[in-house]
């Protein structure tokens, strides 16, 4: 009876062992290959000068062994040691969880011996010999047999490994979130060079009354309301980025003197913007700078977004901690900036204008944009490039279609489009009462259930049925996150957009695209030179 039971246990144990070896073999090989590659790279960097002082014979001997191939070879002792070591590591975890600390200690000790032997073999560039491997393989085999015999059955092993895989996944997810948070902080932080430029320009604005007098003179220029000219609007608190948008636009315009730029910034940066644009010439174009805090009509009684941003709960949502499984980028403080929402009030800001082109401050213009003003929008309000080549840019990805207010009015498969380069027909805007539509949706979303944050979701709702698709070449997006945009697409684009965290004025910008932006920086300006070097 006893012999029959033993005969029964042996094949079960053998199947169990085979399963464990198969499960961990692949991971052990991959891990050790990475270890060896890392060691070889380190050896190339650190040991090369020493090798050069040794004899040629020693160099040949060292280079004759490919330790990666040695680890992968089914007949090598290194491979056997690697597999046994990985299996032993699994049993260390299981033994600890079953409070068999002595067995766990013995396994850990042999694992260290195994690691030391493999490390020595890699350092000397010679394979592990039978004499070196045999004692460790025998002792590890005995300990693994003891672990198997301790009734650590296959079900226990599977459950244990599942729990550890889940724990590793949670750690990886936490690391991903943390990485996103750090990336966001880096993207939102003002670089020292830009801070330096702001300080110098603010000092100029305060010290030079002539700049303030000149600003007062230009405030009433008839060109600001002349519909025979080409009007662009930019809402930003970044003086250098705004300057790049203006400079790239006039540099590629056939008739730059016919261009008018309407810039709105906040009170902190108003003097900075005025000092920069009054002190620099942009090929004769007209530039107006306004302070959003002087718009008396833009208040909580008129604009729902202002009321919401003044609410304590809304402020906590926009700038609070990264909880409730909300993507960190959706809690960016930029969404609390009123400048980000001014795009829905363009007719109120410029009541006498008929058509404008809206530009974000993270775009670069590469072609003449004046043909946009003669495009036929077929009665629509918004001319924009659609972004639904991939499924994730359709309406259902931005809006909560489980809410009947959304699902009853909108097609979830409708094509999304891009903010950043938009043609707005302000006559059609007023006729369709677009701002009132925006107010309606902002009020409906007071509890944040229709969409999370941002200006694109309410834009998709507000301009639904009022958007004219433009040729894709007018506006190419993704230069702030996508490493693989086709060069031909970039070269043919009228406007390239650095949307994403990797803004071109930051160190984390994508190197491949950064020259597109830098070519329009006035590197000879003394303030820029001084701030960069300091």
Give per-residue pLDDT as tens, 320-339.
444 444 454 445 555 568 89
Q: For residue range 405-450, what is the model confidence (pLDDT) as tens digits?
A: 999 999 999 999 999 999 999 999 999 999 999 999 999 998 888 9
Instruction: Reply yes or no on whether the pLDDT at 40 is more than 70.
Output: no
Instruction: Reply yes or no on whether the pLDDT at 193 is more than 50.
Output: yes
Q: What is the C-alpha separation between 528 and 505, in angstroms, rounded? A: 13
Place 215 in a pLDDT band, splitting at 50, 70 and 90.
Answer: very high
Task: Quote the pLDDT of residue 334.
Answer: 59
Q: What is the C-alpha separation between 117 and 76, in angstroms, rounded? A: 14
Instruction: Reply yes or no on whether the pLDDT at 349 is more than 50.
Output: yes
Task: Quote the pLDDT of residue 515.
Answer: 95
Structure-token pair, residue 121: 């073999």
Place 178 in a pLDDT band, splitting at 50, 70 and 90.
Answer: low
Task: Quote the pLDDT of residue 492.
Answer: 96
Residue scoring higher pLDDT (12 or 232): 232
Task: Quote the pLDDT of residue 185.
Answer: 57
Residue scoring higher pLDDT (312 or 4): 312
Residue carrying the six token digits 């009132």: 436
Structure-token pair, residue 272: 């900075």
User: Is 351:429 a contact under the CB 8 Å cutoff?
Assistant: no
- Count of CB atoms within 10 A of residue 185's CB? 12
User: Is 421:360 a contact under the CB 8 Å cutoff?
Assistant: yes
Sheet with 286-291, edge to edge strand ranges: 286-291, 259-265, 230-235, 355-359, 421-425, 382-384, 467-469
User: Is 80:132 a contact under the CB 8 Å cutoff?
Assistant: no
Instruction: Reply yes or no on whether the pLDDT at 72 is more than 90.
Output: no
Place 168 in a pLDDT band, splitting at 50, 70 and 90.
Answer: confident
What is the residue extent of each domain of the chain? 69-188, 193-533
Mean pLDDT value across the chain: 81
Place 514 in a pLDDT band, splitting at 50, 70 and 90.
Answer: very high
Q: What is the C-alpha separation between 320 and 317, in angstroms, rounded? A: 5
- Strands (E) across 281-344 are located at 286-291
Task: Quote the pLDDT of residue 390.
Answer: 63
Place 243 in a pLDDT band, splitting at 50, 70 and 90.
Answer: very high
Residue scoring higher pLDDT (327 or 493): 493
Q: What is the C-alpha separation between 307 and 443, in angstroms, rounded? A: 10
Ranges of H-type helices in 47-100: 48-53, 56-63, 67-72, 77-97
Task: Quote the pLDDT of residue 202.
Answer: 94
Task: Quote the pLDDT of residue 292.
Answer: 96
Residues 6+ apart with CB under 8 A from 151: none
Task: Quote the pLDDT of residue 330.
Answer: 45
Task: Quote the pLDDT of residue 333.
Answer: 52
Q: What is the C-alpha separation between 375 and 431, in angstroms, rounded? A: 19
3-class SS letters over 125-190 = CCCCCHHHHHHHHHHHHHHHHHHHHCCCCHHHHHHHHHHHHHHHHHHHHHHHHHHHHHHHHHHHCC
The whole-model pTM stands at 0.67
Place 187 in a pLDDT band, splitting at 50, 70 and 90.
Answer: low
Q: For residue range 92-144, what is the model confidence (pLDDT) as tens digits?
A: 887 887 788 888 898 888 888 888 888 888 888 788 888 888 888 888 888 88
Task: Quote the pLDDT of residue 177.
Answer: 67
Instruction: Reply yes or no on whether the pLDDT at 372 is more than 50.
Output: yes
Task: Quote the pLDDT of residue 315.
Answer: 58
Residue scoring higher pLDDT (50 or 307): 307
Residue scoring higher pLDDT (174 or 353): 353
Class of domain 193-533: alpha beta
Q: For residue range 263-317, what is the model confidence (pLDDT) as tens digits?
A: 999 999 999 999 999 999 999 999 999 999 999 999 999 999 999 888 766 655 5
User: Is 144:24 a contact under the CB 8 Å cutoff?
Assistant: no
Q: What is the mean pLDDT of residues 194-200?
A: 90
């Amino acid at each position: 009876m006893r012999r029959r039971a033993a005969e029964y246990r042996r094949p079960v144990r053998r199947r169990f062992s085979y399963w464990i070896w198969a499960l961990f073999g692949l991971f052990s090989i991959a891990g050790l290959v990475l270890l060896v590659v890392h060691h070889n790279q380190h050896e190339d960097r650190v040991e090369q000068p020493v090798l050069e002082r040794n004899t040629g014979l020693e160099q040949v001997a060292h280079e004759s062994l490919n330790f990666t191939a040695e680890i992968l070879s089914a007949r090598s002792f290194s491979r056997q040691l690697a597999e046994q070591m990985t299996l032993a590591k699994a049993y260390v975890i299981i033994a600890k969880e079953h409070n068999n600390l002595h067995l766990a200690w013995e396994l850990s000790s042999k694992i260290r011996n195994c690691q030391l032997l493999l490390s020595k073999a890699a350092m000397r560039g010679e394979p592990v010999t039978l004499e070196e491997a045999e004692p460790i393989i025998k002792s590890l085999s005995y300990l693994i047999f003891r672990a198997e015999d301790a009734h650590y059955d296959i079900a226990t092993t599977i459950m244990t490994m599942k729990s550890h895989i889940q724990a590793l996944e949670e750690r990886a997810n936490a690391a991903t979130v943390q990485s996103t948070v750090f990336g966001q902080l880096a993207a939102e932080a003002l670089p020292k060079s830009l801070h330096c430029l702001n300080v110098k320009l603010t000092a100029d604005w305060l010290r030079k009354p002539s700049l303030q007098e000149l600003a007062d003179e230009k405030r009433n220029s008839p060109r600001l309301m002349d519909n025979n000219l080409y009007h662009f609007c930019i809402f930003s608190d970044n003086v250098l980025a705004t300057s790049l948008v203006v400079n790239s636009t006039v540099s590629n315009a056939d008739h730059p003197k016919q261009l008018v730029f309407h810039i709105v910034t906040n009170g902190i940066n108003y003097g900075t913007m005025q000092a920069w644009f009054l002190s620099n010439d942009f090929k004769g174009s007209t530039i107006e700078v306004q302070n959003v805090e002087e718009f008396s009509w833009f208040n909580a009684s008129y604009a729902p977004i202002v009321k919401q941003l003044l609410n304590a709960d809304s402020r906590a949502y926009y700038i609070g901690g990264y909880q409730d499984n909300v993507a960190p980028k959706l809690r960016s403080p930029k969404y609390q900036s009123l400048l980000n929402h001014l795009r829905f009030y363009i007719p109120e800001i410029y009541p006498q204008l008929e058509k404008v082109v809206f530009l974000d401050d993270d775009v670069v213009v590469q072609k003449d944009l004046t043909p946009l003003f003669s495009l036929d929008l077929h009665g629509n309000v918004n001319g924009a490039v659609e972004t639904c080549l991939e499924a994730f840019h359709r309406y259902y990805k931005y809006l909560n279609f489980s809410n009947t207010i959304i699902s009853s009015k909108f097609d979830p498969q409708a094509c999304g489009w891009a903010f950043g380069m938009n043609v707005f027909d302000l006559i059609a805007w007023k006729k369709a009462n677009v701002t009132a539509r925006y107010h309606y949706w902002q009020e409906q979303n007071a509890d944040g259930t229709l969409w999370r944050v941002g200006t694109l979701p309410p834009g998709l709702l507000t301009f639904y049925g009022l958007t004219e698709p433009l040729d894709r070449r007018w506006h190419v997006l993704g230069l702030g996150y996508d490493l693989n945009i086709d060069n031909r697409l970039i070269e043919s684009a009228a406007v390239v957009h650095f949307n994403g965290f990797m803004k071109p004025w930051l160190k984390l910008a994508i190197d491949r695209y950064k020259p597109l932006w830098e070519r329009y920086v006035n590197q000879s300006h003394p303030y820029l030179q001084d701030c960069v070097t300091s």
